[in-house]
Amino acid sequence: MTTGSDPVKLMKQQVGKAAADRVQSGSTVGLGTGSTTAFAIQHLGDRLKSGNLKDIKGIPTSFQASVLAKQYGIPLTTLDEIDQIDIAIDGADEVDPQKNLIKGGGAAHTREKVVDSLAKLFIVVVDSSKLVDRLGSTFALPVEVLPMAITPVTKAIEALGGKPELRMGVKKDGP
C-alpha cells in the first residue's frame, strides 16, 4: 500500500499507523473495515514482522479485514475463543463536530458494531474527507434490516419521512 503523492492517502496512512501504534503486545484487536483501517492492519503486520509487537490476535469485522490480516501475518481468532477485546480500530463514513458517526457504508455494519462495542478501547480512524457539519451530508444512513423485516421497516422509515433504498451487502463483507 504505497501512498505516492496523494495527500488523502498519506493522511490515511498516518492515521492508520498512529492507531496501530496504540496496540500493545498480548492484545486482542478488533480489526475494522475500510481504507484507513487497512493501513492500520498493514502497520500491525509490519510491527509483528519486525518483532516490535508480539502475541496479538485479531478479530476481523469483515471479509476484507480477514483477507488483509492474513496477508500481513496477523493471527486471527473469533469471539467464541476470547474473553475480551482490548482495542478495536475501525473507520467511519462521516463524523460531525460533536463526534457522532455514520458507520456501515461498506456493508459490514453488524459485525463492526458487535466487535467495536466489546472493545475496552475503540479507536475511530478517519481522514479529513469524512468530517462533515451535519450527518447525512455526503452519505446515506445505513439501517440494518433482517430480510424478513424489509417491508415493515421500509414502511416505518417512510412514515418518518425517509426514502429507504434497499442495498445488498456486496462490498467489504463478502467476495
Active-site residue flag, 112? yes
Strand order across the beta sheet in which 119-125 lies: 57-60, 28-31, 85-91, 119-125
Query: What pLDDT is attached to residue 103?
Result: 86
Look at residue 88 and tell me whether its pLDDT is greater than 90.
yes
pLDDT at 149 over 90: yes
* Cα 64 to Cα 12, 20, 31, distances in angstroms: 17, 17, 10
Q: Is the pLDDT of residue 51 over 60?
A: yes
pLDDT at 25: 98
Buried residues in 80-90 as b, exposed as e (16+ CB within 10 A): eeeeebbbbbb
**Residue with the three cell numbers 485479531:** 58
Q: Is the pLDDT of residue 175 over 50?
A: no
Report yes or no: 86 and 59 within 8 Å, Cβ to Cβ: no
| Domain spans of the chain, in order of start | 7-130
- Summarize the confidence of residues 79-85 as an average pLDDT: 96
In this predicted structure, what is the pLDDT of residue 110? 84
Contact 101, 95 (CB under 8 A): yes
Contact 169, 144 (CB under 8 A): no
Multiple choice CATH, 7-130, 3.40.50.1360, 2.130.10.10, 1.20.1600.10, 2.60.120.20 = 3.40.50.1360
Supply the pTM of this predicted model.
0.86
Predicted confidence at residue 166, as pLDDT, reads: 86
pLDDT interval class at 22 (50, 70, 90): very high
Q: Which of these is catalytic: 81, 94, 112, 158? A: 112
